[in-house]
Amino acid sequence: MADHMPLVVAGFVILVVVALVVMFLLDGKQHEENQAFAQERGWRYRHDNSELQASCRDLPFGRKGSHRRTQRTFTGEDRGLPFEAFEYHYEISGSGDESSSYYHYQVTRITLPHPCPVFSLEPSGLGHTIANALGMSGTTVDDPEFNKAFKLSATAAFAAGALGPENRRWILADPRFRARSLRLDGTTLTTWHKGKLDKTDLRHALDFLHDARQLLALEPPPGRPEPVTPQ
């Protein structure tokens, strides 16, 4: 057995090297595809963008885990407003023999022309990360179905003005609100969901943010958007 050990070690090293080369080639191909995707739309793309890490240290992700990283960043303008879309991930180390867990999120946000009150809306059952981080039990409205479907964090005045009966019906009828979290803070309107960044989803994420901006009357709307129905 000892005579074969050098061959075993050499074979293992070769496999590791081959795996690293394949990963490098695939990563390079993805980088080229993402750059082309961005250029076709007049956007910009950066594979690594550590400058965005600071903006993820607080809400909605907090200071969870280690090896926090922001990458695969698309930036540009959409409907006249600046936007950023990127992948954020972090690692939580296991204890003892437990392996580490890795968490990935696709984050998309637009910059509004003026500051607005803090507001968040999360689908029920997704951990209610924002409300918990704020130390809030959540804001309720006079609508049991809405309260059951969503976790709302907002001032009573903002909730009363932005979430009247018609808007609540609109949100309940739009499946995007049950799949994407939404946060408004200052001049930034953000949506995110679990998973690695999918560039083919960026159009849907941006449309969702603009529809939410219009719905919440964050600026004078040209007309109410229609709820999106599943295809």
The pLDDT mean for the chain works out to: 79
Query: Which pLDDT does position 206 carry in this prediction?
Result: 97
In a domain, 221, yes or no: no
Which is more confidently placed, 215 or 62?
215
Question: Are residues 125 and 196 both part of a single domain?
Answer: yes
Of 17-26, 30-39, 125-134, 191-200, the range with the lowest mean pLDDT is 17-26
Which is more confidently placed, 13 or 161?
161
In a domain, 227, yes or no: no
Q: Please report which residue ranges of 41-135 form alpha helices under DSSP H.
A: 129-133
pLDDT band at 220 (very low <50, low <70, confident <90, very high): very low
Query: Which pLDDT does position 19 carry in this prediction?
Result: 44
Question: Are residues 143 and 36 both part of a single domain?
Answer: no
Of 12-21, 65-74, 86-95, the range with the lowest mean pLDDT is 12-21
Report how far residue 65's alpha carbon sits from residue 89's, in angstroms, rounded to the nearest whole number. 9
Question: Are residues 123 and 35 both part of a single domain?
Answer: no
The 10s digit of each residue's pLDDT in 112-135 is 998 888 899 999 875 554 554 555
Query: Which pLDDT does position 229 carry in this prediction?
Result: 55
Q: Which domain holds residue 29?
A: 8-40
Return the closest-CA partner of residue 80 out of 116, 110, 36. 110
Which pair of tokens denotes residue 229?
A: 């129905």
Label the pairing between strands 81-92 and 66-78: antiparallel
The 10s digit of each residue's pLDDT in 72-123 is 999 999 999 999 999 988 887 766 556 778 888 999 999 999 888 889 999 9
In a domain, 148, yes or no: yes
Number of H helices, E strands in the chain: 6, 6
Question: Are residues 73 and 109 both part of a single domain?
Answer: yes
Question: Are residues 62 and 152 both part of a single domain?
Answer: yes
pLDDT band at 23 (very low <50, low <70, confident <90, very high): very low
Question: Are residues 18 and 81 both part of a single domain?
Answer: no
Question: Are residues 30 and 124 both part of a single domain?
Answer: no
Q: Please report which residue ranges of 41-164 form alpha helices under DSSP H.
A: 129-133, 144-149, 156-162
In a domain, 73, yes or no: yes
Of 29-43, 106-120, 216-230, the range with the lowest mean pLDDT is 216-230
Q: What's the pTM value of the predicted model, to 2 decimals? A: 0.76
Question: Are residues 97 and 208 both part of a single domain?
Answer: yes
In a domain, 144, yes or no: yes
3-state secondary structure of 154: coil
Question: Are residues 54 and 161 both part of a single domain?
Answer: yes
Which is more confidently placed, 211 or 6?
211
CA distances from 60 to 4, 24, 218 (A): 53, 31, 20
Where are the extended beta strands (E) located within 49-145? 66-78, 81-92, 101-123
Query: Are 185 and 59 spatial neighbours (Cβ–Cβ below 8 Å)?
Result: yes
Residue 25 above 60 pLDDT? no
CA distances from 140 to 68, 129, 146 (A): 33, 17, 9
What is the separation of C-alpha 207 from the centre of its chain, rounded to a whole number of angstroms?
Answer: 14
In a domain, 79, yes or no: yes
Question: Are residues 18 and 67 both part of a single domain?
Answer: no
Query: Are 79 and 47 spatial neighbours (Cβ–Cβ below 8 Å)?
Result: no
Label the pairing between strands 150-153 and 66-78: unpaired
Domain total of the chain = 2
State residue 142 phi and psi, 5-degree precision: -80, 60
CB-based burial, 80-119: b 16+ in 10 Å, e otherwise:
ebebbbbbbbbeeeeeeeeeeeeeebbbbbbebeeebebb
Question: Are residues 212 and 133 both part of a single domain?
Answer: yes
Radius of gyration of the chain from its Cα atoms, rounded to whole angstroms: 21
Query: Which pLDDT does position 11 carry in this prediction?
Result: 59
Question: Are residues 15 and 106 both part of a single domain?
Answer: no
Percent of the chain with pLDDT over 90: 42
Of 68-72, 147-151, 155-159, the range with the lowest mean pLDDT is 68-72
